Every structure is written in C-alpha cells, then in structure tokens.
Amino acid sequence: MPVFSVTSETLVRAGTLSFVLFFLTVSKGAGEKPSTSDNRQDYAQLLALFPEDRQAYGKDSFRGYMGDQPMTMGQVVSAEAIHYRHSPNDESRRRVRAGVRWLLDNADLDKDGAPGWGLPQPWDTWSDGTENPANHSYTITTAIVIYGLLDALQAKDLWNDAERAEQRAMLVAVSRRWCREIWSDGYGGGYFWYSPRKVDDAFGVNVAAMFLGSLTRLIAEQPDALTDEDRKLFTARRDAQAKAIVSTVERRKGQPFWKYAPLPNRFNLDRPNDLLHHAYTLWGIETYRDAKGPVEIPWTRAEAVSSMDKFWRDGVPQEYPQNGGTLAKLPARLWSVGMMLAFYAQFGSEKQAADCFGAIRDRYGKWPQLQLLPVATKAVEKTATQKANVQANAPFIPRQAAHVLYGLAIECYGGKAPRKEK
C-alpha cells in the first residue's frame, strides 16, 4: 500500500488535498445497527458498483489511474467467496470464478517471468527516487490476492480437481518466490521486503504482517499442496516473521501499536501506523495467533481489539490513534474504515462492527456511492462545509471501497473460516 506521510506533496499526489481542508465536529455515536436484512441489502448495493464483467476496474485515488487493480479483485473475490459459502447463489459463483480466472491469468503483468501482483501505475515506494514501473509486484498486493484465492478455495463446490490444482500450484509458487528471494533476517527474526526489488528491502510492518497471515493460512488450509521442503521453509519464515512483529511492538497500557517501519531503518522514517496499516498488521499477526504458531504473542486478543478503539474520535474513525501525536485529528480514509470494519467483524464484537458500519453508512457519502473521506456535518462552519463538499462529488474509488465490501461480507455472512493447522 502506498506510504502516506501527511504532507502537501503526498496529498496532492494521491488526489486528496481536501483531506486537510476541514475537520469534523460531530455528535457521539455512529447510529444504530441496521437489521441483518438491511445490511445484506447494503452489501448487494455496494457489490453492484463492481461490474460483474470487469470487477476490478475504475478510477484510483493514487494518480487518478483508470484501470484494473489486482488488490481490488482479490478483495471482491474474498467477499463473494464468503457470501457464497454462506448463501450459495449464481451471481457469487460467476463472480468468484471470473475473479480467480483473472487473477491467475494476470499473475505476471510485469513480464518478469515470476508470479506476483502489484499496482498498474508506477510508484516510488519509499519516496527515495527509485520509482518502480507499472505492474511491479508488491508484497501487500500479493498477500491480499492470496487471501482471495484461499477464500475461493474454501468454497469447495465451485471447482473441479484441475481448477483446484491450478490455484494451489499458483499459491505455492508465489509463496516459494517470496520465502526464497524476498526476505531478510533482522529485527529479532526476519521480514518480507516491501517488493521483490532490492531497493525495497525494508521492514514495512503491515506489509510483512499481511504476508505472514496469508502464508499462515496456506500452511494450515492447504497442507497437501506443500512438499516437505516447502513446509519447512514456509514454517520457518512464518515464525521468524512473527518474532519480528512481536519484537517491534510498542505496548500502551497493554495495547499493541507499531511504527510504519521500525527504527532503525535506512529511510529514517519515524511515523506510526495509520488506521489502515494498523488493521493490516493486526490482521496478519492475529491470524497467526489463531493458527497456534509457536511464537508467543504477549498481548491478548482483547488488547488487540481495544487498540483499534483508539482510532475513534467523537463517533468518527480517525487516521491515527487518539492517544497522542501531532497527526491525531485527521479523519480516516475509506479503505481504513473498511479494514477496521473487517477487523471488528472477524475478531471483535458485533457492536463494534455495527458502530463502524454505521459510521461508514452515515459519513462517507450517499450509500453506496462511497467517497474517500467523510463529509462535513452541520456543525462545521459554512465555508468549511462548502470546501469539504467538493469531496462529495469525488468519483467512486473501487480499490478503497473494496475494503468496505470485504468488511461488510464478513459482518453479513461470516468470514471465520478454519485457521488452525491440521
């Protein structure tokens, strides 16, 4: 995921200059939880904005790129696989099968002869002048696609033996590449790089954590696809990555938090995780916990969930935790609250998920036409409201909204597939 430092340069690049044009003063509470039936209607309405014949296509918030995003496809596949497992239906069947086919057919868009998924637009990962070309693979994008393929495989009646074998072979090939080539020791264990390129050999905690989660699930859910050599290597990398995440945690009253990249790092980057990347980090390491890996996790599940609660302010999710720091009063972007919803639905309580969905439903545009940032409220002075409402006319951003679709699928249909090793 792009590294977002809150500077005018970055905000302009991402097309989100309005991010700092307003602040919110809202009443407490994010609204009552709609009925399950209503939530499922909301899910269907949001899903309809991802056209069945081109589910990952649309305008992106980064550089305004128009095209297909593998990350978007991975999350649509995950969401619809979860939907299908709960309520088998023809549309979900078509969507999952088409999405998986697209991901398999587009596993080497950068034509480097190795499997992986990335961004279709160029990007300088660490803002150090080393821009990666279009379709370069990234660890976070690849991890999210792996989650999608694993979720699709959970829907067993969708596939014949040959199709399942093809998917499993791709999952193993990608994981072998990352475990063999895109890895460094350090930080009390080891870490997956930000991308296969050597200049991206750095410990972005959220990126590595998400790949940890995907690798953990592959080992647990598809053990028959692995050779003894694969199992030994994958398990060693999994446990070493978990050690690095545990060794770099900062505990605040027991709750876990991380820097975006732990110090020391060669970029001298010293910034906390924002909400999206906090959720990614927790998602990966809590998936590891559920698989009963041997590395001890010193915080509890309850402490992990309560750390997410620190990102709320007056009923609106914030981009940074509200327990100090100069970046504490910025409203969260859409994908941040989408991943918060997914985390609450998977690991937290029904009320926490309901409150988060209520905030999305009430604040982020007229449903389902979601927007990047929350709209201003009546409590904001008129001139600020007028400025903020420019964002209300912003285009629908599939890669951001797919995080909400994923979270809503878990809330509505349940995403808690088996995670323990066999």
Give the tens place of pLDDT for each residue, 292-330. Answer: 999 999 999 999 999 999 999 999 999 999 986 667 789
Whether 420 is in a domain gets the answer no
Whether 419 is in a domain gets the answer no
Whole domain around residue 400: which residue ranges? 8-413
3-state secondary structure of 338: helix
Write the pLDDT tens digit of every residue in 74-120.
999 999 999 999 999 999 999 999 999 999 999 999 999 999 999 99
Q: Round to whole Å and give the CA distance between 117 and 107.
A: 6
Q: Round to whole Å and give the CA distance between 87 and 75.
A: 18
Whether 422 is in a domain gets the answer no
Whether 3 is in a domain gets the answer no
- Assign residue 113 the CATH number of its domain: 1.50.10.10
Residue 182's alpha-carbon distances to 118, 226, 234, 349, in angstroms, are: 15, 19, 13, 36
Overall average pLDDT of the 53-63 stretch: 94
Name every residue whose Cβ is closer than 8 Å to that of residue 134 and which is 6 or more positions away in sequence: 110, 119, 120, 121, 122
Residue 193's alpha-carbon distances to 2, 104, 140, 201, 329, in angstroms, are: 14, 23, 10, 5, 31
Q: Which helix (H) or strand (E) holds 255?
A: strand 255-257
Whether 1 is in a domain gets the answer no
Whether 143 is in a domain gets the answer yes
Q: Round to whole Å and give the CA distance between 339 and 343.
A: 6
- For 260, list phi and psi in degrees, rounded to 5: -60, -45
pLDDT at 394: 63
Write the pLDDT tens digit of every residue in 323-352.
866 677 899 999 999 999 999 999 999 999
pLDDT at 328: 73
Q: How many domains does the chain have?
A: 1
Write the pLDDT tens digit of every residue in 178-227.
999 999 999 999 999 999 999 999 999 999 999 999 999 999 999 999 99
pLDDT at 20: 30
Whether 99 is in a domain gets the answer yes
Helix ranges, 257-375 (H) = 275-290, 301-309, 334-347, 350-363
Whether 44 is in a domain gets the answer yes
Closest CA to 347 of 389, 320, 378, 309: 309
